[in-house]
Structure 1
Amino acid sequence: MTDATLPIYHLLHEIDAQFDQLVATIERAAVLYESCHPPTWRFCRAPGDSSWLREALLDMWHQQGQDGRETRNYIAVIAANDELINEFHTINHAKSHISDLLTRIKQAEPNALNDVKSRLPRRHPSLNEVLRKSGFARLHLKQCWRHIPIAPAPVSRVRLAWYSSGRSIKRVSVQEAEHKLLQLDSDAPHVRIQLNKLAGIPSNEVLAQVQTQAPLMRANLFFVEPLADGHTRRAHNIAMPLIVPANEGRLPHLKAPSDTPPTTRTRAKRRDEKLEDEPFLPSLRIFRYR
């Protein structure tokens, strides 16, 4: 039986069980962390008690009014022993399974995702109480399945820095751009100007719609020994605590980032930049290629 013929309630039952497993694995990792007190560095936070990790790993909820594209970040570095690292790998495995199930449910019956977001918290009274008291609304799917970054080998140093130059680029046709403009107020002068500009270029030209991404934290890891592939360093974008093997029972050398991301671009502009400097259709953030 394929997902196409599998009753949706079977998939919902499976994700219920897998979510229970995820919560159980988080609980085991949190208890172990709180009992062994591994060396930890946290970004812009007071040391506090060890329960912060439990709160970070269980933060899988939308706050009232939160943009669904936004996620809350927990930047930290933990020097973990083998037992704790194995628990974090188990959490990531459970998250991967949930991500796969969510994809299958969306393909089988997209509307069922709304049921998933509201029903899973109710399976855990303590979590449901947190939602009720804190004004959280429902499960945040991305925060549910995002992985914990784990270094594959001992690390000598970690350099943390803001990355503020990220952007997503989506190719759009002239016809698609026209459709998007017509969904705006087509009687507005600035929209008519853009429609006229669009009519003046070849109908087969490919355009680019650009979305600037929110600043994110990037960790550059420098390994004690080269990896099997010969690499001595690796970069990770991190939104969750970075887990590194406890080399000699201590944290690697850390270069901390600034407290806030830079307000202007920090990377030099590429000489081979393919997009024009100014947007062709400003209302849609659409550019022409050079």
Structure 2
Amino acid sequence: MGDAPEYRLLAELEAAYDRLVESAEALVAGWREHGGEAWAFGEARADADWLHRTLLDFWYQDGQDGRSTRSHVGLIAAPEPVMAQAVAVNAAKRAFAAQLARIRERAPSLVPEAKAVLPFRHPRLHGHLRGSGLARLHLKQCWRAIPLAEAPVARVRLAWYTSGRSIKRLTVREAEQKLLALDTEAAHVRIQLERLAGLPDREPLAQVQRQAPLMRANLFFREPLDDGRRRRAMNVALPLFLPAEDGRLPDHNQPPAQPPQARTRSRRRDERLEPEPLLPSLRVHRYRR
């Protein structure tokens, strides 16, 4: 049966997952009851069925990269009871993520078992996957937060953000080890190893990972917030809940169906990295001097 403390961790994760599902379904039921306008990007209808599918989309699709998540962009006008339920869903998501982190720290071997067990606690949620074998749970899609506006909004402007990237610092030695793991017989790898050999050992390098395009919402509040701000920008991978006692959506735009192909923002004059990679195979750049 296994170690009892470990399986207690798993039981606690199952309970956290149940609370997450139940709170999300309560949110959908609350919005169905209290009403409120909604808009869904790329969808013909934004109704309670759409919201249910969106909030409980916890599954991998065939061929989906395990590092990526699906976006469901939309706007929900939410009276106070609905906003309170959305806050409760996010609390359940945090609790689920915290319990999962405890398992990864104390008993990481249980993570595959959790992925196998959890889908069957609420089998109707993944009925559409019955024909494709075991439903595969996407843990990040379970715990990612619902975006919430903290105050009534006058207007929302949605736009694709395509300039995101993550930067990881590397030493010359670390970059060399990564190159040596490639095909060192290939001419382009040998050329990059020669470039690297000409650098001082202590020079820091930067490995750049371009991030997938995402939707960003710019919120313009009706009144200044407590800190004086009148606007806020946030990424929106799930429907954005907007406080609205009258159930009406604020003015909002219709973003393009697809992100732009080319970079839309000019490069910063204080860009710290050289524009061309030193090691193209690794996306490694030098810092400007």
TM-score, length of structure 2 as denominator length: 0.95
TM-score, length of structure 1 as denominator length: 0.95
Written as runs of structure 1 = structure 2, the 5 A alignment for 1:146-161 is: 146-161=144-159
Point out the more displaced range, 40-49 or 221-230. 40-49
CA-CA distance at 1:49 after TM superposition: 4.2
What's the secondary structure of 1:139's corresponding residue?
coil
8 Å contact from structure 1 (residues 76, 240) kept in 2: yes
8 Å contact from structure 1 (residues 155, 247) kept in 2: no
**Residues 134 and 235 of structure 1: CA distance in aligned 2, closer, same or farther (over 3 Å):** farther
**Residues 141 and 184 of structure 1: CA distance in aligned 2, closer, same or farther (over 3 Å):** same
Unaligned runs of 5+ residues in structure 2 are none
What letter matches 2:239 in structure 1? Answer: P
Unaligned runs of 5+ residues in structure 1 are none
Name which of 194, 197, 200 aligns with 1:199: 197
Name which of 167, 170, 175 aligns with 1:169: 167
Written as runs of structure 1 = structure 2, the 5 A alignment for 1:62-141 is: 62-133=60-131, 137-141=135-139
Name which of 206, 209, 226 aligns with 2:207: 209
Q: Deviations over 1:165-191 (max 9, x none)?
A: 111111011111011111111111111
What's the secondary structure of 2:129's corresponding residue?
helix
In 2, the alpha carbon distance for the partners of 1:63 and 1:284 equals: 28
Name which of 4, 12, 15 aligns with 1:17: 15
Match of 2:36 in 1: 38
8 Å contact from structure 1 (residues 63, 136) kept in 2: no
Match of 1:221 in 2: 219
Q: Deviations over 1:152-205 (max 9, x none)?
A: 000000010000111111101111101111111111111111111111100111
**Residues 135 and 149 of structure 1: CA distance in aligned 2, closer, same or farther (over 3 Å):** farther
In 1, the alpha carbon distance for the partners of 2:38 and 2:126 equals: 29
Match of 2:142 in 1: 144
Q: Deviations over 1:225-261 (max 9, x none)?
A: 1001111100010000000011543111102211111
CA-CA distance at 1:36 after TM superposition: 3.2
In 2, the alpha carbon distance for the partners of 1:48 and 1:212 equals: 32
In 1, the alpha carbon distance for the partners of 2:62 and 2:282 equals: 28
Point out the more displaced range, 248-257 or 179-188. 248-257
Root mean square deviation, CA, Å? 1.6
What letter matches 1:70 in structure 2? Answer: S
Q: Percent identity?
A: 55
Match of 2:237 in 1: 239
In 2, the alpha carbon distance for the partners of 1:248 and 1:20 equals: 32
Match of 2:5 in 1: 7
8 Å contact from structure 1 (residues 61, 136) kept in 2: no
